[in-house]
Amino acid sequence: MVLWLIPLLPLIGAILPALLIRSGRDVCASATGFVSLAALGLLLSQAPAVFAGEVVRVSLPWVPQIQLSFSFMLDGLGFFFAAMILIIGLLVILYARFYLDRADPMGRFYAYLLLFQGAMLGVVLSNNVILLLVFWELTSLTSFLLIGFWRHLAEARQGARMALIVTGGGGLALIGGLLLLGNIAGSYEISEILARGDLIKASPLYLPALVLILLGAFTKSAQFPFHFWLPHAMAAPTPVSAYLHSATMVKAGIFLLARLWPALAGTEAWFLIVAPVGLATMVIGAWIANFRTDLKSLLAFSTVSHLGLITMLLGLGTKMAAVAAVFHILNHATFKAALFLSAGIVDHEAGTRDVRRLGGLAGLMPITATLAMLATASMAGVPLFNGFLSKEMMLEEAAHTSYAGITWLFPVLATVGALLSVAYCARFAIRTFLGPVRHDYPHHPHDPPVGMWLPVALLIVPVIAIGLFPGAVAGALVALTAGAVIGGPLPDYYLALWHGLTPALVMSVLAFAGGAVFFLTQARVDALRRHFPRPEARDMFEAASNAVVLAARRLTAWVHDGSLAFYLRVILAVLIAAGIFAMASAPHAAGTRAMLPVTLPALVAWLALVVACLATMMRHSDRLLALILTSVVGLIVALGFVQFSAPDLALTQVSVDVVTTILMLLALNLLPKTSPREFSLPARWRDGALAGIGGLGIGGLAYAVMTRDGTSIADYFLAQSKPGGGGTNVVNVILVDFRGYDTFAEIIVLGIAAVAIFALLDPKLPAGALRRVRALQPKVESGDVHPPMLVVAARAMLPLALAVGVFIFLRGHNQPGGGFIAGLVVAIALMLQYIASGYRWVADRKRLDSQAMIGAGIGIAGLTGIAAWAFGLPFLTSNFGYFTLPVVGTFELASALLFDLGVFLTVVGVMVLSLAQLSRVGQHVDPLPTPEQPMDLPLAAPPPYHQPREA
């Protein structure tokens, strides 16, 4: 239970800052910090078990059919990342309280931050790859909100969009890769996948799965060539930059590589892809960082470089390299978070992050300068700081790496990367804090309040402590985490300042010397660099995005041109092509079942059906006649249901036919009486051919099915209807029990459709519709709008019709009927009142609101399904029993009756609301205008219709 709460606490607690901001900024920040502190407390409560070598697991089935479960796992790797996320998150929360301006919506900021924190915790603690994917995508969405927090800035919106597109695109690839991985391993549980590494690597699907997974990891962790999005995310507030780039967002891809290391690493493909990508990212990121003038941009590219360093180490595939990668993840999180927060302090107090406008801040901001230069020394790999130790381990591993038979490639490029790192670190520290004091700062610089520099100081403590006493301070944590990454025994190693005269030490000395020379000649190198083409990733991304958008718009304009005929033509052509392919690629054999004898009534009905269909096709331009003919078709179909002993379907068909005919007749009042102009003759021949082929195909398919023996799920429903659902009406039992979830979804769709009709047919009708209706009214030959005979008959029949509806509803579980048919019968009875007595008469006497009925129906159906949970059963599981009452005797009651009541109320509400909205049009012209109030509005021209394409 504790593991579930660790990621859920921030996700649920995100509501607190949004609510408590009205109580003040301090209360809001305190509540946010309390949520993270509580999650950290729960995590630390599991520390003894984790450090004792246990793997804490908890699992709750979610959708077991696809092996999706709320499954969490806490081992050394998960504990390490979760602790890093929560501890640095607490420091960022404290820092943000003093960093954010009063104009910034702090409640919203902290809410986004907690949502992101919960998503990251879900990623690192998930033990199910599908659950991991859910949290993975949630990190992309919440980081989008954080990066674009200052949405009034164009660069913030652009950076957020760029991050979402790149990481979201990688997430799509990751979905495919992890699903393939689970398919290969035979399980989607990560613990099971890690135990089946040999099986995975031997599979022919290993390489496709690996490539897709690496695409997801590389995009998330800004590896080349996807590195360009991360610097543009610097438009976010500094607390966001510090959090995303030190401990969370960009570390998600690194975490994924580390988590799947036992299952994927150790192959030639892993080494050939991951290691060079990491090495290239390390060098390219460091090179670009040396020419950035914005402090946060410089630090962003340095983050890219260090992420490449970690990726390279994991890509080498050796146990020692994995240990070095884990150690550098820890060190990088401490010094990089401190540096980002320091850059934010400089920006906050000096009013600029441009190194060309800074310098001499050491005397004006001594506390900030001291802390920032200590963190910079660690990032540069200066001895006595933690960055030096993991950098030496990296150089040692690179020194012994040969790539494609080239022994010098990795040692040389790793040294170049370290050299460039020294140079940009010197540039950051010297150009910002050293040199003479300037007098043209935008603001007068001074050290910030303690709430801003204290988080930096706390981060510097491990920077120094690990650098001086690595084994004592970080040895146990590194061993625990590296053991979880490797998934086996650790190699022989020890964390110490001095390892003797090693190749790594020589490479480090060369890096420092070369870095110093590069820093001193940086201006000349920059001038030379400007003479060569310098592709800008942002411009390339924008150009590519604009091209894709333009192509999509053109394709959309061509496909979605408003022509229903074109849509149907494309759909039908695709279905015909698929059917022809299936027929051509499948074996054929004659049917084994004889046809039923053709009786005279069946033949007459079939001929009537054919004549009605042909007449509809020939006279479809006359909309009223077409509507009548389609009603004839519906009646013949109902008779077919009766012929084959399906009274429920026949009742439903007739009821639906009556309801739709009435609604369509009302709708025709607002439409032209004839259809728009026809297509050209060739177009009609084309469409006729498509329709003919499609009809012949469906007919042939029906014939093939009906003339062949086969098993059907109908046998199961027939056998289980009474013992499983408590009813003998199989159709109704299927609707309210076996397939209740489908019915529940359908009534929700009905409710949505009714609300859409209500919104579209607003009482404030367009002038054109009003003019058209007014112009139609004088054409009524009889002055009696509501004939008395119809009014009296309708009112007399209403109680009888309602009684019939109740009867059909109550008998539906065992005899033909049910909530859907009863709802249609009652709706027809109410419709008759509208037709006979008019909208106003009915509206004045109506006591039940149609929208309330729809809501009540869906609510009752949903609550009936939820009630099953109280008995430990799945959603919408029904039950039944037999009860005895005096006089009445023994009778059956089923919980499905309540669900059917929900269906009944929804259907009645939807139909009456639709009818009422169509009928309401008439209230604008009822009663008829008097001679003193002539209708001076002319008949409006029919609304413009889209002219379908000819070809």
State whether the Cα torsion 109-112-115-120 is positive or negative. negative
What span, in angstroms and rounded, lies between the C-alpha atoms of 246 and 240? 10
Half-sphere exposure of 98 (CA within 13 A, CB side): 18
- 């201006």: which residue's tokens? 523
Cis peptide bond N-terminal to 766, omega within 30 = no
pLDDT classification of 937: cutoffs 50, 70, 90: very low
pLDDT at 95: 92
Sign of the dihedral defined by the CA atoms of residues 868, 874, 876, 878, in that order: negative
Q: Which amino acid is at 46?
A: Q
Q: Which of 83-92, 363-372, 642-651, 669-678 has the lowest mean pLDDT?
A: 669-678
Averaged pLDDT, 495-514? 87
Respond yes or no on whether the N-terminal peptide bond of residue 208 is cis (omega within 30° of 0): no
pLDDT at 380: 92
Contact present, 180 and 209 (Cβ < 8 Å): yes
Average pLDDT over every residue of 353-368: 89
622 bridge partner residues: 674
| Interatomic CA distance for residues 949 and 676, integer angstroms | 13
Round the average pLDDT of the chain to a whole number and report it. Answer: 86
| Residues contacting residue 12 through CB under 8 Å, at least 6 positions apart | none
What pLDDT band is residue 944 in, cutting at 50, 70 and 90? very low
The C-alpha atoms of residue 387 and residue 306 are separated, in whole angstroms, by 11
Q: Which residue, among 737, 703, 702, 699, has the nearest Cα to 717 in the 3D structure?
A: 737
Beta strands in 68-109 (DSSP E): 68-74
- Which of 243-247, 460-464, 827-831 shows the lowest mean pLDDT across its residues? 243-247
Q: What is the pLDDT of residue 375?
A: 94
Look at residue 936 in the predicted model and tell me its pLDDT. Answer: 37
- pLDDT value for 780: 42
**C-alpha 253: how far from chain center:** 19
Write the CA distances from 461 to 334, 398, 428, integer angstroms: 9, 29, 21
User: CA nearest 820: which of 588, 590, 606, 653?
Assistant: 653
- Confidence check: pLDDT of 489 > 90: no
Phi, psi of 708 (to 5 degrees): -130, 145
| Better-predicted residue by pLDDT, 390 or 927 | 390
Amino acid identity, residue 421?
A: S
pLDDT score of 34: 94
Closest CA to 245 of 97, 104, 146: 146
Angle, to 10 degrees, between the axis of helix 76-99 and the axis of helix 470-486?
120
Bridge-based pairing state of the strands 880-885 and 889-894: antiparallel
- How many whole angstroms separate alpha carbon 87 and alpha carbon 47? 15
| Strand pairing report for 68-74 and 880-885 | unpaired
SS3 927: coil
Question: Coil, helix or strand for 406?
Answer: strand
Quote the CA–CA distance of 501 and 642 in Å, as a whole number: 95
Q: List Cα–Cα distances, 204 to 192, 315, 509, in angstroms.
A: 19, 21, 45
Q: Tell me: the pLDDT tens digits for 830-847?
A: 888 888 887 777 777 777
Q: How confident is the model at residue 85 (pLDDT cuts 50, 70, 90)?
A: very high
What pLDDT is attached to residue 874?
82
**Residue 7: which of 104, 136, 120, 127 has the closest Cα?**
120
- 90-144 pLDDT, tens per residue? 999 999 999 988 888 999 999 999 999 999 999 999 999 999 999 999 999 999 9
At 279-328, the pLDDT tens digits run 999 999 999 999 988 898 899 999 999 999 999 999 998 999 999 999 99
The pLDDT tens digits for 460-481 are: 999 999 999 998 889 899 999 9
pLDDT at 892 > cutoff 70: yes
Output the six-digit token pair for 91: 């420091």
pLDDT per residue as tens digits for the range 590-634: 878 888 888 888 889 889 988 988 888 888 788 888 888 888 888
Identify the DSSP state of 354: B
Q: Note the pLDDT tens digit of each residue in 10-43.
A: 999 999 998 988 888 899 999 999 999 999 999 9
Amino acid identity for residue 879 in this structure? N
Question: Above pLDDT 90, what percent of the chain?
Answer: 40
Give the DSSP H/E element, type plus range, for residue 61: strand 56-63
- Nearest Cα neighbor of 464 from 341, 603, 355, 338 is 338
Q: Please, which pLDDT band fits residue 779 given cuts at 50, 70 and 90? A: very low
DSSP for 253-277? HHHHHHHTHHHH-SSHHHHHHHHHH
Residue 927 has pLDDT above 50, yes or no: no
In the predicted model, is pLDDT for residue 500 greater than 90?
Answer: no
* CA gap 377, 379 in Å, rounded: 5
> What pLDDT, on a 0 to 100 scale, did the predictor assign at position 926?
41
β-strands 889-894, 68-74 pairing: unpaired
> How many percent of the chain have pLDDT more than 70?
93
Q: Are 811 and 894 in contact (CB under 8 A)?
A: no
| pLDDT of 127 | 92
